[in-house]
Amino acid sequence: MKKIYLLSIILALFLFLLSFRIIVYNTELYNDQFLKDDTYSRYNQTFVNNFSLNLINYLQAKEELEDYYNEREIIHLKDVKELIDNTIRLLYLVSFILILIFSYLIYKEKYKEIGKLFYYSGLINLIIILVLTVFFLTNFQNGFIIFHKIFFTNDYWILSNDSLLVNIFTEYFFMQMLKLILLIVLSLSILFILFGKIFVKHMMSAENSKKDL
């Protein structure tokens, strides 16, 4: 049973990493948040979209940063890029581990364990979502600061209030992106719980049928 819980945590982590990957380079989502945040009323829409696109391309190593940033911002964005790169590498690693796990379980015909794996991972994520909702969304500013202190080893993330980076990518922007990640994870977790429950029930029925024979 302990192994199932451990494997469920790995699968739960996969959902968060996958959800992050879905939104991190999504220009349409960025533009939608700029619209909701009234960014286009503060800055020219074409400028904002180009600014955002250049940053996304930089994070994907497709182009260098334009001359929008000071030295402090450039150092911080290098740190951000490294953090995102490491997160996506972790996604690939976790994906590979899960392929091995499911391959083994299928080979050993441990189908009931597969159902439990989906079920428990969904439950684990529901708990994580609840904790993150309380921690971040009830006081996002403090949560945002704690996040930066944990994942950045310097203070270059502390930028001036007149920074373009701060005024285009506002706290509201990041809060909405966090909500999107949690919403994706929540939707997938509910599907995992339903699938796991139905799958386990089906496998138990199949086992009982074999015993009756």
Please state the pTM of the whole predicted model. 0.89
- Helix/strand/coil for 14: helix
Say how far apart CA 5 and CA 46 lie, in whole Å: 49
pLDDT in tens, 45-90: 999 999 999 999 999 999 999 998 999 999 999 999 999 999 999 9
- The most confident of the ranges 44-48, 111-115, 134-138 is 44-48
With beta carbons less than 8 A apart as the criterion, state whether 188 and 19 touch: yes
Domain boundaries, the chain: 2-212
The pLDDT of 77-106, averaged and rounded, is 96
The gap between the terminal CA atoms of the chain, to the nearest Å, is: 29
Say how far apart CA 44 and CA 135 lie, in whole Å: 34
Residue 212 has pLDDT above 60, yes or no: no
Query: Count of CB atoms within 10 A of residue 119's CB?
Result: 21
